[in-house]
Amino acid sequence: MTKPAMRVAVTGAAGQIGYALLFRIASGEMLGKDQPVILQLLEIPDEKAQKALKGVIMELEDCAFPLLKEVTAHSDPMTAFKDADVALLVGARPRGPGMERKDLLTVNAQIFTAQGKALNAVASRNVKVLVVGNPANTNAYIAMKSAPDLPARNFTAMLRLDHNRALSQLAAKAGCAVGDIEKLIVWGNHSPTMYPDFRFATLAGKPALSVVNDDEWNRNTFIPTVGKRGAAIIDARGLSSAASAANAAIDHVRDWILGSNGKWVTMGVPSDGSYGIPEGIIYGVPVITKNGEYAVVKDLEIDAFSRERMDLTLKELTEERDGVKHLL
Ligand SMILES: NC(=O)C1=CN([C@@H]2O[C@H](COP(=O)(O)OP(=O)(O)OC[C@H]3O[C@@H](n4cnc5c(N)ncnc54)[C@H](O)[C@@H]3O)[C@@H](O)[C@H]2O)C=CC1
Ligand SMILES: O=C([O-])CC(=O)C(=O)O
């Protein structure tokens, strides 16, 4: 029997990431090859953006995706988020060369108060929200706080790109396949203070530390390479990452909804107080997902170096949170 269609709202749908994302959602890569989908696409109420969005919709039509039941264009979040089961909040200004993601906070914060309120008013009561627009963790925090009637745990931020980058770097160092790696974590903020941590990782079942026992590489290459990869992409392309960001968004939502089959994945989620992270801060943690829910992997040992790194990225997140208090 055909499943009822799921409504997926995507903001910034005519942007770079939108263009790399929508076709994959419509082809079933995010929600499953048996899951019909309705796309509700939001762009700013600007003639050029709305025209570009029309063009993207024409291309979606031209793909004749069997799972794509309907596509609608919107300039108002109150209609774009109506009954949405999934909301991908991508629309926001990207950074350019020389900027940090937190420099975007003032320009982008208002977007997430307005969109949080709209989700609160019209989305499905169990809408799953992924914030991609930067600074992603604090924008997710803003949206969550602006939507008091929705479950806070349904607001998440994208750390999956960082997780995938860390997988790739570790696989290259160890000379193994990315698919052989399990139990990798990226703690904290989607910013250069993030802490990619492979202390618990296994490579084809063997402890990663028995293969890559190189503290100098960890401190001076692995951690900074993963943390600064976004800037390296901007430097190389002149634009921020788009296809890899869209791919990470697909991975994040697919695993959240369809399950991670016992594997650890990193999600930015409102803290439940574990690992000394104050409740509510949206922090990258290892989770296992099943039946549309995530469970934080608990009670991992945190050594002195890790505590220092985790506190550093937490400090930045608390500062960002304090900087947007007046909006909430
Ligand atoms: N969390 C992560 O790992 C990553 C986050 N990003 C962030 O994603 C965001 C989008 O990046 P791109 O697609 O490259 O940017 P882009 O500039 O190509 O597209 C953004 C689109 O959002 C639209 N937009 C702006 N305000 C909006 C609003 N209030 N409602 C609906 N649409 C709105 C713009 O008109 C534009 O079409 C940026 O903030 C970027 O920094 C990018 C890569 C990775
Ligand atoms: O670096 C940026 O500004 C875009 C981004 O978040 C990433 O590529 O990780």
Q: How far is the CA of 240 from the centre of ligand 2 (A)?
A: 6
Q: In the numeric block, which tokens belong to residue 181?
A: 């790696």
240 lines ligand 1 (CB under 6 A): yes
pTM of the model: 0.98
13 is in an annotated binding site: yes
Q: Which CATH class is domain 6-157?
A: alpha beta
Rounded mean pLDDT of 198-222? 97
Tell me if ipTM is over 0.85: yes
38 annotated among ligand-binding-site residues: no
- Strands, DSSP E only, in the chain? 6-11, 37-42, 68-74, 86-89, 128-131, 155-157, 181-182, 185-187, 195-197, 202-203, 206-207, 265-270, 282-290, 293-296
Burial 242-260 (b: 16+ CB within 10 A, else e): bebbbbbbbbbbbbbbbbb
Least reliable range by pLDDT among 4-8, 95-99, 211-215, 297-301: 95-99
* DSSP helix/strand/coil, 9: strand
Q: What's residue 106's pLDDT?
A: 86
Confirm or deny that 238 is annotated as ligand binding: no
- Report the share of the chain in percent with pLDDT over 70: 100
Nearest residue by C-alpha to atom 8 in ligand 1: 133
Task: Answer whether residue 98 shows pLDDT above 90.
Answer: no
**Nearest ligand to the C-alpha atom of residue 89:** 1
Those residues with Cβ within 8 angstroms of residue 118's Cβ, 6 or more apart along the chain or in another chain: 77, 78, 80, 81
14 is in an annotated binding site: yes
Domain with CATH 3.40.50.720 in the chain: 6-157
DSSP 162: H
- If you average pLDDT over every residue of the chain, what do you get? 97
Atom in ligand 2 nearest the alpha carbon of residue 134: 6
Instruction: Give 211: exposed, middle or buried? Use CB within 10 Å, 0-12, 13-18, 19+.
Output: middle
- Which of 16, 93, 99, 101 to probe ligand 2 with, by most ligand atoms within 8 A of CB? 101
- Give residue ranges with CB within 6 A of ligand 2: 94-95, 101, 134, 161, 230-231, 233-234, 240-241, 245
Nearest CA to ligand 2 atom 7: 230
Query: Is the CB of residue 109 below 6 angstroms from any atom belonging to ligand 1?
Result: no
Instruction: Please give the distance, rounded to the nearest whole angstrom, from the Cα atom of residue 156 to the centre of ligand 1.
Output: 16
Which tokens is 199 given?
């202390």
Residue 220 is labelled as binding a ligand: no
Q: How far is the CA of 89 from the centre of ligand 1 (A)?
A: 8
Yes or no: say if 145 and 131 are a contact pair by the CB < 8 Å rule: no
Catalytic status, residue 252: no
Joined tokens for residue 87: 């909301």
At 305 the pLDDT is 98
Tell me how far apart the alpha carbons of residues 72 and 306 are, in angstroms, rounded to a whole number: 46
**159-324: which CATH topology?**
L-2-Hydroxyisocaproate Dehydrogenase; Chain A, domain 2 (3.90.110)
120 is written with which tokens? 């609160």
Write down the catalytic residue from 74, 163, 190, 252.
190
The minimum-distance atom of ligand 2 relative to the CA of 233 is: 8
> Mean pLDDT over residues 44-73, rounded?
98
Dihedral in degrees, nearest 10, Cα atoms 14, 16, 21, 27 = 70
User: Cα(289)–Cα(103) distance, rounded to whole angstroms?
Assistant: 32
247 lines ligand 1 (CB under 6 A): no
The pLDDT value recorded for residue 277 is 98
Asked if residue 101 belongs to a known ligand binding site, the reply is yes
Distance CA 281, CA 176 (A): 35
Q: Terminus-to-terminus CA distance in the chain, angstroms?
A: 45
pLDDT at 1 over 80: no
Q: What are the pLDDT digits (tens) for 106-159?
A: 889 999 999 999 999 999 999 999 999 999 999 999 999 999 999 999 999 999
- Summarize the confidence of residues 47-70 as an average pLDDT: 98
Query: Among 163, 241, 266, which residue has the most ligand 2 atoms within 8 Å of its CB, making it the best to mutate?
Result: 241
Predicted pLDDT at 76: 98
Residue nearest to atom 5 of ligand 2 (CA): 230
Domain span(s) for CATH 3.90.110.10 in the chain: 159-324
The backbone torsions φ and ψ at residue 93, rounded to the nearest 5 degrees and listed phi first, read -75, 135
Confidence of residue 102 (pLDDT cuts 50, 70, 90): confident
